Every structure is written in structure tokens, then in C-alpha cells.
Structure 1
């Protein structure tokens, strides 16, 4: 836990009133979830912001109505427009100028954690073989503007296809490993300083709801469908980790389930938040196992 997080928690503890308990304090003090304390603090501060309280209820129904209109348009034009580079530069502009530092921190962390989880699975399920994936180590906002969001979605499908093809070639399956290789799982994520101007006030969840219709419009119908349904692969990745570690308690924390029965794309914004939370918790769980094995 960083000094900033410790100081924030101590300050709220000092102001604790049992007749008016602070929900933020209760969630921050809770230790039931295996999530990095600094990431948890960033998420809670973002979730309790005025932007999420007052702007999200207005943005969400408008965003979902826009997705419906875009999907109707995609019936007539499934491939045009297709502007992934413009989409990513637009997202980068928003991250740089209006998103909170906490929101940007959580976004950049997500790419690192997802890449480490996939690498951990490959290291232990198919030692010596690693699927060919796009690098996911952004240190700043400029790094994500080179189609990183789209590549992130492509990575998960390419990972599953290449990993299982290699398992078939070897004639093996994913099973418990006596001594796990945790070299892919790091304890910290190094990021450059993030923008914190007077207009950096939009929380992560509101931003995601705004970005989702833009995703639907500026990517092909197939790209948007694939991106939306990649979220349900949280369950698949969680099962792989359970088979390798012999531990299954983290599966109860996965909310994006049943990839064989896709959800509507209308819920993609909220499910993306759940995807980020699931990734944080699975990575935190693997960090706990890493520490346990080391001792």
C-alpha cells in the first residue's frame, strides 16, 4: 500500500462516525477481495466522484440509445465507417484532457495485468511456447493510441486459439502444476506521470459509456461484436488459472460468464467495468499465490 493510500485511509478512519458510517471507508477497509490497495483506492475515488454521481445517469441511457441506432445503421453498412486510428486518437485525447488521473491509471494498469495473466497461463500450461501477441506495456497515454484497445481484444482470441492449438499438438491439457512459474506476475506497474488539469474530472465508468457508442460507430460490425464478446472470456481465463493452480475461489468473483451465449452489446459499457475488476482480482489472487509459494 502506497503512502498516499495509507494516508487517505488513516484520514477517513480518524473521521469515522458509527452513526453515519462512510460506505467508501467500509469498502476500503475490507480485505475480502484480492485486489491491489492502490488500485482499489483509485477505483473507489473514481466511483464516488461527482461525475459518476450526476453525469453517468444522464450519459448511460443516451449512450445505449446511440448504440441501438448505430447497430441499425450497421445492418446497412457493416464495414463502413472503419476508422480505428481515429478512434484511438479520440480516446487518447479524452484520456489526456478530461479523464481523472485515477481513471487513466486504471486503464493503463489493465493492459499490463491482462498481458501478465496470459503470460502466466502460457508459462505454466505450455512451457517454452508463447502465443504471438501484440505487446501490452503502455507507460503513458500516447502508447495506447496505436490501436492498443483493439489489439487488446484481438490478443485474447489469438491467445485462446494459439494456446489450444499448441496443447493439441502436444497431446496435453491444462492441469495442476506442482511448482508454478510466477515470473510473469509483477508486484508493481510502472507508469509515467498522468495529466491532472482542471478539466480532468470525468470518471472511468462515465467515460466508458461514452466510448462504447464510438467503438460501435468507428469499428466494423465484426470488430465491435468481437470486442464486446471478448468480455465474457473472463470466465474462460479464470477456469484456466483454476486448473493450473488447483484453486477455484476466484471463480466466484467473475461476473462476465457464459461465452457460448453472448450478451447484448447494449451492456458492453457496464460489463467492461466488471472485466476490469475481474482482471484486477485475478491478478491480485495470483500475487497472493506467488507470495505463498515464495515462503
Structure 2
């Protein structure tokens, strides 16, 4: 049974409608059906309902205290390797299967979105470092840190190419969607022990101060500021597609207005949803383009 079947088979009580069923049934926002079901199922968990309100203020207090601590000893206990080992063990032991699935999907889809932009700006040559994890093991290899670096390096290298070669990002009459996976993402089944109870939002809120503890102050600020690039990626994609009517739900806004680190966990969830929505839109465009190609190929006039 797919994740989507959980909501498709859910009974509808008109006197007590399920809010998550309503959001799942709504198709105004582009979103992979199984990923949407996994996320909403995770949102409806007891962990998010009862644990998140308790842990979120504690996590944000820890961020504030660690910020003060880093001012005094900016490089104490910093280790990206140790950080990612802790993240791996935390995900393997405490995070729910749905949440782990969504986290790994994010790296996979993010790499495809960047490749799509690169492939649809004729004349640019950018070396990519795609991250496509299908299990939790790659988390130990600095996966989160490399993801942030990839995004910054892509924006810098793309704009250097555009400026040095006098190229503009413009609408492409025929999109190159070869980098976009339209079928299921081949992610392995996630750990499903009794300890794997923590929902995505709660896990991110808890992991954010851990992230801050093991990184230098500069690395943590760079990581949180990368969330502001959602708007940049959305604008680039909309120029290529020639439409921005369904990219309006980007909530991590102007990249020239960096925000404080206190709400980094919440903004990270928005970042993940923005990636899911953009990738789902690209999948939709790919399927339409393939259908048009098949119709043309089957036309008697040919």
C-alpha cells in the first residue's frame, strides 16, 4: 500500500472533517502524491501535536545560548564529521520513517532542480556535485554540509558564467527535463522501530542546535542563510519556464535580508516544501511534454 492510500481510504465525516485529508485532496499546489501523504501523515502524528510545542522553545533557547557561547569560543568542539555521525544516529534511532523519507528526498530533488536550471541556460558550463542518497548511510559523509555548499557554489558559478559570457536566463520553448525523475525516487525502506517516533518538524527543531554546536559560527550562519536562496532558485526556474503563477508559495524570501538563526528549523521545513513543489511542477511539465511528443509521433500526417 502506498503512502497516498492512507488518505485515499480515509473515511470522510462531514461533521468532523479531517484537516489533513482536506489538504491532501487539494490539487492547487503541485506536490508528489506519496511525498505529500508522507508529510501530512507525519504532521498528524502525536509527536508533532504534543512533543513539538514543548521542544521547540527549548531548542530555540539552546540556539540563543549557543550563539553567546560561540562568541566566546567560536571554534570549540567543531567537527563536521562528528556532527554528521550524530545526525545519522539520531535519524536512524529516533526519526520516523516518513520524516527520514522526506529528508532524503530533499537532497535528491534539490540536485535535480539545480541540474534542470543548468541544462536550460544554453552556453553555461558548470560542474555539478549531485547528491542522490537512497539510504541513511550517506548522511555520515557530510551530506547536509555538502548540500549547502552545492547551492552556494551553483549560484556563484552560474552568475559568473552569465556575466563573463553575456548570457541571460530566458524562457526556453522546449525544456530540457532529462535531469528530472518523473517516477518514484528509489529510497530504501527506513528504520521502523518503536523508537522511530519523531516527526519531521520536531526532528529538525531538535537537530538545529546540534548543527550549531558542532559547526563554527560562520558555517552555521552560512547554512541558515542558504534558506534565503529559495527565492533565487524560484526566480531562475520561473524565467526558464516562462511562468511564475505556481511559485508564489516560497516563504524564505529576499536573499539580501538575512534572518536570525532562531527560526532556522521552521524555515528549513519551508525550504523542503519549496523544493518539493518546484520539482513536482517540473515533473508535471515533463509528463505534458512527453505526452505532446507521443501525440506528434502518432499523428497520421507524419
TM-score, normalised on structure 2?
0.93
> Which residues in structure 2 correspond to 1:27-106 (within 5 Å)?
27-106=23-102
State whether structure 2 residue 12 is matched by structure 1 residue 16.
yes
Instruction: Report the CA distance between 1:144 and its aligned residue.
Output: 1.4
Q: 1:103–1:203: 8 Å Cα contact kept in structure 2?
A: yes
CA distance, structure 1, for counterparts of residue 43 and residue 211 of structure 2: 23
Give 2:295's aligned residue: none
Higher helix proportion: 1
Aligned residues: 290
Given the superposition, is the C-alpha separation of residues 6 and 68 from structure 1 closer, same or farther in structure 2, using an over 3 Å criterion? closer
1:138 corresponds to which of 114, 133, 136: 133
Extract unaligned runs of 5+ from structure 1. none
Give 1:209's aligned residue: 205
Where has structure 1 moved over 4 Å in runs of 4 or more? Answer: none
State whether structure 2 residue 176 is matched by structure 1 residue 194.
no
Post-superposition CA distance 1:24-58 (Å, at most 9, x none):
21111111110000000000011010001110001
Give 1:162's aligned residue: 157
Greater alpha carbon shift after TM alignment, 183-192 vs 233-242? 183-192
1:183 corresponds to which of 158, 171, 178: 178
Given the superposition, is the C-alpha separation of residues 127 and 293 from structure 1 closer, same or farther in structure 2, using an over 3 Å criterion? farther
Greater alpha carbon shift after TM alignment, 181-190 vs 78-87? 78-87
CA distance, structure 1, for counterparts of residue 5 and residue 215 of structure 2: 43
Post-superposition CA distance 1:51-79 (Å, at most 9, x none):
01110001000000000011011111222
Give 1:26's aligned residue: 22
Post-superposition CA distance 1:116-143 (Å, at most 9, x none):
000000011145622343x301111011
Give 1:5's aligned residue: 3
Q: 2:115–2:128: 8 Å Cα contact kept in structure 1?
A: no
Give 1:260's aligned residue: 256
CA distance, structure 2, for counterparts of residue 126 and residue 115 of structure 1: 19
TM-score, normalised on structure 1?
0.95
Post-superposition CA distance 1:171-220 (Å, at most 9, x none):
11111111110001102211122111111101111110011001111000
Q: Over the residues paired in the alignment, what is the CA RMSD in angstroms? A: 1.2
State whether structure 2 residue 166 is matched by structure 1 residue 171.
yes
Give 2:268's aligned residue: 272
SS in 2 for 1:190: coil
Give 1:121's aligned residue: 117
Q: 2:95–2:197: 8 Å Cα contact kept in structure 1?
A: yes
Give 1:153's aligned residue: 148
CA distance, structure 2, for counterparts of residue 259 and residue 40 of structure 1: 27
CA distance, structure 1, for counterparts of residue 178 and residue 76 of structure 2: 43
Instruction: Report the CA distance between 1:6 and its aligned residue.
Output: 4.6
CA distance, structure 1, for counterparts of residue 4 and residue 147 of structure 2: 32
Instruction: Report the CA distance between 1:261 and its aligned residue.
Output: 0.6
Q: 2:170–2:240: 8 Å Cα contact kept in structure 1?
A: yes
Given the superposition, is the C-alpha separation of residues 8 and 132 from structure 1 closer, same or farther in structure 2, using an over 3 Å criterion? closer
> Which residues in structure 2 correspond to 1:219-238 (within 5 Å)?
219-238=215-234
Extract unaligned runs of 5+ from structure 2. 293-302
